[in-house]
Amino acid sequence: MIFSKTFKTILPTVLAVSCLGFFIEKPEYPVSGLSPSHTAQEKWESRVFGPTLKGTEVTKVPMRAGARDQVAKILSNYKTGLRPGFKDQLPELIIKESNKYGYDPFLLTALIITESSVNNWARSRRGAMGLMQIRPHTAVAMAKETQQQWKGKPTLFDPGVNIALGAYYLNKLINRFGDLRLALEAYNHGPTKLSSYLRKGKKPTEYSKRVIDQYEMIRPQPI
């Protein structure tokens, strides 16, 4: 995926407008496809995700050259708790799931860093587990939908299963809310709670900003 140099100049405006809630009424990432009159936000999300959605078909852009090594370099800064052989597989797992849904792999990497600091054995006070901090009851439903083998809670400590379920769940939330930032907030708060916030006229932004800031920090800059 190739990021244009103009991205640097439009990002501050995009974030500022988003924080004001300008995009609450009109989804920034319409599932039916990007409209002819792209907003700056739609252009940004098309760069993050790569695909243009046309009905149910997804046309992916080529993966950025050297992405595997770049992701591996980022992950090397964290203690995963995994043996070297398993840790070495993480970049491939991230890229595999990113390809599946058309994500920039650095976005998925940023989400993993934000969720667990890449600690495979992480547990939250609310019961979320693993690299992408998925709750078991959510994981059971996602495993059924994706036909992943489920062997109880310890399944979430399998990096391949955890990343696969987390990437699928994020994609499901994007399809539901039609907006990357809202999908990230739903990933954190839960979709039911986020929907309740939105009905009350509230739009959480803190968590999505953390993920996006992390993404901006780790992604390779265009030459």
Cα dihedral 196, 199, 204, 205 in deg (nearest 10): 140
Q: According to CATH, what is the number of the domain 64-218?
A: 1.10.530.10
Question: Inter-axis angle of helices 159-177 and 136-146, to 10 degrees?
Answer: 90
Residue 90 and residue 156 in contact, taking contact as beta carbons nearer than 8 Å: no
Cβ contacts of residue 214 below 8 Å, gap of 6+? 110, 113, 114
Cβ contacts of residue 36 below 8 Å, gap of 6+? none
Residue 107 and residue 51 in contact, taking contact as beta carbons nearer than 8 Å: no
Cα separation of 76 and 70, whole Å?
Answer: 10
Catalytic sites, residue numbers: 115
pLDDT of res. 55: 27
Per-residue pLDDT of the chain (223 residues; tens, 9 = 90+): 444 444 444 444 444 444 433 332 322 222 222 223 344 444 444 444 443 322 222 233 345 558 999 999 999 999 999 999 899 999 999 999 999 999 999 999 999 999 999 999 999 999 999 999 999 999 999 999 999 999 999 999 999 999 999 999 999 999 999 999 999 999 999 999 999 999 999 999 999 999 999 999 999 876 5
Q: Where are the domains of the chain?
A: 64-218
Cα separation of 148 and 164, whole Å?
Answer: 9
